[in-house]
Amino acid sequence: MRVAFLLLFVVVVSAADLEWWKTALIYQIYPRSFKDSNGDGIGDLNGITEKLPYLKETGVDAIWLSPIYLSPMYDFGYDITDYREIAPEYGTMDDFKRLLSEAKKLGIRVVLDYVPNHTSNESDWFIRSANRESGYEDYYVWTDGVNDTATGELKPPNNWVSQFRKSAWEFNSARGQYYLHQFVIGQPDLNYRNDKVQQEMKDVLRFWLDLGVSGFRVDAVNRLYEADPRNYGGRYPDEPLSGINGTVPDDYEYLNHIYTQDLNETYDVVYNWRDVLDEYIAIQGEYKIMMTEAYTDLNNMIRYYGTNTRNGSIPFNFSFLGDINSSSNAWDIKVVIDKWMTYMPNGKTANWVNGNHDQSRLASRQGLERVDAMNMLALILPGVAITYQGEEIGMTDGYVSWEDTKDPQACNTDDNINYYKKSRDPSRTPYHWDSSNNAGFSDTTGKTWLPVAENYRTVNLAKQMNDPKSHYQFYKDVVQVRRNAAVREGDLDTRALSEFVLVVTRLLPNYPGVLGVVNLSEKSQELDLSSLQLLPDNLKVVASGVSCTTEKGATMKKSNVPISGHCALLFESNGCLRLQPYIVLCIFLYLISHLI
């Protein structure tokens, strides 16, 4: 009997460990800006460990840490000197192990950023490769420059442009050749046509998996390959012009990136990484998540999910970032949601991203009045929800002057007036813990690495924790409801009842249904939801956004649902969608109709 009980326990535990990722709430931490524990003005690992209880209380399942590795920080950690070392300004390997074990105790999984496209130009591999050390010659994308016939000057091999502006090629005098860098000069692109590079990068995955991390977010994955010069007479071919008005040759948008993005070879590499991760299911009894970052069209995107024979990743769904703005109406938002669900291959896991460290913040991009609505949608739609630190309290973009600007994408504009259009610093300003000095982020007497946004005294976590009517409380309430069976497994129904009203229903037979209603207009509305036939009649409010006048606990009939302007309301049905009696009725009617 005891053995049977134990076996049952093991089965239940391992099922949870294998399924956790399918409905995970993943919280993205930008370590530099989360919490500074040692007063140097820069966030660090011990700061994160200190705040884990808060994340637990919020209901987060996993944290994804933006890069924590040794780096000269030209691109704030996305330029990695050593994939196996921790950046000293963030702490030590022991600090990381402590973070991991404290998180584990709280039931929070740790997901790391994996940056496979490029290293730092200070990495050992790059230095060896630049010196043509045997075995390392082809670790990077090297090629000769071209001689300008008129001036005799040596020029880059072709017209390719870095994401951060200007030529994507940099001359290395030790080697006497140019290397490719799709991002900053200090981020040389690895050469994925070299099997040794592929092997090295798999070993990096294994190193962190062995330490017990629960998966990876894969950076800039659609940049892994470039056109093979062997198919173009030994040259890397020029990319065609995009024809976009107002762009100049130094701008990334000037070209159509057909030879540097989304190459067919990319997908197999991702599937191979997936295989490495899958080895650990047996070793550690836990599914390891892989989420890939590629800003690309939907057809390319869904290929990351895998094929009939290969497992893949969860491609980040950036449609909430790119396809919805402050003037999108309920019809637009419905279309955006339905589009992902339509294209996503059957049986795969959806995901919803409301912000990250590269994008303007939700509150600034879509307006403060939509924060609750968008947070709620991401949390009640099927699949994985990803929250960037600060979106749960409605942080806005901070102001960062040209003098304080750190982001290479902004600095490379060389334009002290328009730099902000490219700058990612505003969404990376320190987290607002409370209204004390530096928003409780750091007790430094000097400057924090980026200035704290001015509104921290009014927008901060401590204040919102004490305020039942706050973005944070609403977020937390919705996260609670997210645990319902209907949100985990129920069918999805999205309806735009008008230009202003969006309704999302999650129904599962024999469980209470969940219904999210969003009013995008400033006017109150009286809704009749009777057209949602499968939704039980009686509804109870389980989360009420900051603009709502109806409070948590209120009950109403679906035929009469009042909703105030800019309000996001979450309901649970009192009573379940029950199928069994109807099945009996159906069989009865079927028999009658066939007997007559």
Q: Which positions are catalytic?
A: 219, 293
Least gap, CB of 419 to ligand GLC (angstroms): 16
Q: Does 219 bind ligand GLC (CB under 6 A)?
A: yes
* Candidate residues 25, 52, 130, 220; the one interacting with ligand GLC per rule CB under 6 A: 220
For ligand GLC, the closer CB: 96 or 183:
183
Q: Is 100 helix (H, G, I), strand (E, B) or coil?
A: helix
Residue 184 contacts residue 164 (beta carbons within 8 Å): yes
Residue 584 contacts residue 577 (beta carbons within 8 Å): no
Residue 288 contacts residue 313 (beta carbons within 8 Å): no
The interface mask with ligand GLC, positions 405-424, x = CB under 6 A, is --------------------
Give every CB contact of residue 583 below 8 A, 6+ residues apart in sequence.
Answer: none
**Any idea how long the chain is?**
596
Six-digit token string for 246? 């107002």
Nearest residue (beta carbon) to ligand GLC: 78
For ligand GLC, the closer CB: 75 or 286:
75
- Using left for φ > 0, alpha for ψ between -120 and 50, and beta otherwise, residue 73 falls in left
- Within 150-189, the residues that bind ligand GLC by CB under 6 A are 183
**How far is Cα 298 from Cα 323, in angstroms, rounded to an integer?**
12
Least gap, CB of 217 to ligand GLC (angstroms): 9
Q: Does 280 bind ligand GLC (CB under 6 A)?
A: no
Q: DSSP class of residue 522?
A: S
Six-digit token string for 198? 């592929």
Least gap, CB of 455 to ligand GLC (angstroms): 24
Least gap, CB of 42 to ligand GLC (angstroms): 17
For ligand GLC, the closer CB: 169 or 456:
169
- Within 68-107, the residues that bind ligand GLC by CB under 6 A are 75, 78
Give every CB contact of residue 281 below 8 A, 6+ residues apart in sequence.
Answer: 18, 287, 288
DSSP string, 225-292: ----GGGTTTSPPPPPB---TT--TTSGGGB--TTTSS-THHHHHHHHHHHHHHHHHHHHSS--EEEE
For ligand GLC, the closer CB: 78 or 125:
78
Which H or E run contains 48? helix 45-58
**How far is Cα 490 from Cα 495, in angstroms, rounded to an integer?**
16
Q: Does 358 bind ligand GLC (CB under 6 A)?
A: yes
**How far is Cα 184 from Cα 210, in angstroms, rounded to an integer?**
31
Least gap, CB of 410 to ligand GLC (angstroms): 12
The interface mask with ligand GLC, positions 114-143, x = CB under 6 A, is -x----------------------------
Number of residues in contact with ligand GLC under rule CB under 6 A = 9
**How far is Cα 354 from Cα 386, in angstroms, rounded to an integer?**
7
SS (H, E, C) 178-200: EEECCCCCCCCEECCCCHHHHHH
For ligand GLC, the closer CB: 405 or 547:
405
- From residue 150, give the alpha-carbon distance in Å to each of 145, 146, 198, 235, 293: 15, 12, 41, 21, 42
For ligand GLC, the closer CB: 20 or 295:
295
- Could you list the residues that contact ligand GLC (CB under 6 A)? 75, 78, 115, 183, 219-220, 293, 357-358
